[in-house]
Amino acid sequence: MGGDGGAATMLAGAALALARSPDLRFLIVGDEAAIRAELARHKALAAASDILHAPDTITGDDKPSQAIRRAKTTSMGLAIQAVKEREVGAAVSAGNTGALMAMAKLALRTLPGIDRPALAAIMPTLGETDVVMLDLGANTECDANNLVQFALMGAAYARTALDIDRPRTALLNIGSEELKGTDELKEAVAKLRAHPSLPLEFVGNIEADRINRGTVDVVVSDGFSGNIALKAVEGTARFVTDLLRRSFSSSVRSKLGFLISRPAMHLLRVHLDPNNHNGAVFLGLNGIVVKSHGSADEKGVANAIAVAAKLVRDDLNHLIAEDMADYRAASTPPAASIGSAA
């Protein structure tokens, strides 16, 4: 029921995702009448779907604390419940991010070894592969252990979603030197450097102007800095394309140039269109929950569904749990060595 386009966009997106991956099955949670009305226009989707009626919805104005009290009656709450009860492999929502996070955290709980979940997304780069960024806003403040856990979760996500063996992983900082930034960052650098065998290549700090150069696969930050960086990137991409459009339309000669260079502009648009990178994932929970951007169109929703399906197929959460167990085993000094220095 969420997102700017409501059920119409969500179901058109599901139909598109199904056309691309015919083995998908859907549990559609929300107002049954509205869902049935839309499903009449998507025969194949109707045949691949069950409907779960929810009498209520979470709106964009609901506070997380209010939302969690309505878990049993709202489409968002019931969709997460279906993940918890393993009726479905993943939930995809275009609704209120804060409410989705709070409900998912409460119902699903974190994976063993994970103190806090993080919101992760994939962004385009100038390199061969995209880059995973996390946390994008789930945790305003983080300690060094949170950041280390985010690094491991982000790397597992990159291995799964981007098919990268040993993701180059960096901490977002205000300088590349390892003594820069907050105490939490310095401690996280030390912990990641000290560990004997991480399932990632830790490359130290990265500054925000290099996020999309294609030199790293995972960028780790607290949710405040990550959200600032993500939005600054989104805003600037829009700023530059707006400027460009304005400058192209500033003279007849330029208008002609714009027409002729349409294929180039199209390429640019495809690369920058957030719909092609839609689907932020809450990593670290006992279940997969994907957030589709509220303004995503049906193509964007289909991408978010594809992200969710890939994470289910590749069993991302099993990978994270394994990596965390390995990390903790290697970080705990063997009992026999205690006091044996002499």
Q: Judged by CB, which is closer to a second copy: 135, or 298? A: 135
Which range of residues in 66-74, 88-96, 225-233, 312-320 is near a second copy by CB under 8 A?
A: 225-233
Long-range contacts of 165-168 (CB under 8 A, 24+ apart): 166/199, 166/200, 166/201, 167/132, 167/200, 167/201, 167/217, 167/218, 168/200, 168/201, 168/203, 168/215, 168/216, 168/217, 168/218
Q: Judged by CB, which is closer to a second copy: 213, or 313? A: 213
Q: Judged by CB, which is closer to a second copy: 52, or 228? A: 228
The crossing angle, in degrees rounded to 10, of helices 298-313 and 316-331 is 50
Name residues whose C-beta falls within 8 Å of residue 328's C-beta, 6 or more positions apart in sequence: 113
Q: Judged by CB, which is closer to a second copy: 19, or 240? A: 240
Which range of residues in 28-36, 154-162, 238-246, 311-319 is near a second copy by CB under 8 A?
A: 238-246
Measure the CA–CA gap between 56 and 61, rounded to whole angstroms: 14
Among 84, 199, 258, 326, binds a second copy (CB under 8 A): 258
Among 20, 69, 193, 238, binds a second copy (CB under 8 A): 238
Q: 75 vs 59, 81, 85, 193, 302, CA distance in Å?
A: 11, 10, 15, 44, 19
Among 33, 174, 325, 330, binds a second copy (CB under 8 A): 174
Specify the amino acid at residue 99.
Answer: A
Which range of residues in 144-152, 201-209, 309-317, 334-342 is near a second copy by CB under 8 A?
A: 201-209
Give least dist CB 25 to a second copy, A: 36
Neighbours of 114 (CB within 10 A): 23
339 binds a second copy (CB under 8 A): no
φ, ψ for residue 249, nearest 5 deg: -95, 15
Strand ranges (E), 242-323: 280-283, 288-291
272 binds a second copy (CB under 8 A): yes
- Give the DSSP letter of residue 334: P
Which range of residues in 49-57, 239-247, 306-314, 319-327 is near a second copy by CB under 8 A?
A: 239-247
178 binds a second copy (CB under 8 A): no
Give least dist CB 271 to a second copy, A: 6
262 binds a second copy (CB under 8 A): yes
224 binds a second copy (CB under 8 A): yes
Among 39, 229, 281, 306, binds a second copy (CB under 8 A): 229
239 binds a second copy (CB under 8 A): yes
Q: Is 313:90 a contact under the CB 8 Å cutoff?
A: no
Give least dist CB 172 to a second copy, A: 7
Query: Residues binding a second copy: what is the number (CB under 8 A)?
Result: 56
322 binds a second copy (CB under 8 A): no
Give least dist CB 51 to a second copy, A: 33
Please name the residue that has the structure tokens 């003594």.
179
Spatial CA neighbour of 151 closest among 165, 132, 127:
132
Helix (H) or strand (E) holding 49: strand 49-53
Measure the CA–CA gap between 154 and 186, rounded to whole angstroms: 19
Q: 78 vs 31, 53, 104, CA distance in Å?
A: 12, 9, 11
Interacting residues with a second copy between 128 and 167 (CB under 8 A): 137, 140-141
The gap between the terminal CA atoms of the chain, to the nearest Å, is 66
330 binds a second copy (CB under 8 A): no
Q: Judged by CB, which is closer to a second copy: 85, or 207? A: 207
Q: Judged by CB, which is closer to a second copy: 66, or 251? A: 251
CB burial of residue 225 (10 Å; 0-12, 13-18, 19+): buried
326 binds a second copy (CB under 8 A): no
Question: Contact positions toward a second copy, by CB under 8 A?
Answer: 126, 137, 140-141, 172, 174, 181-182, 207-213, 223-225, 227-244, 247-248, 250-251, 253-254, 256-265, 267-268, 271-272
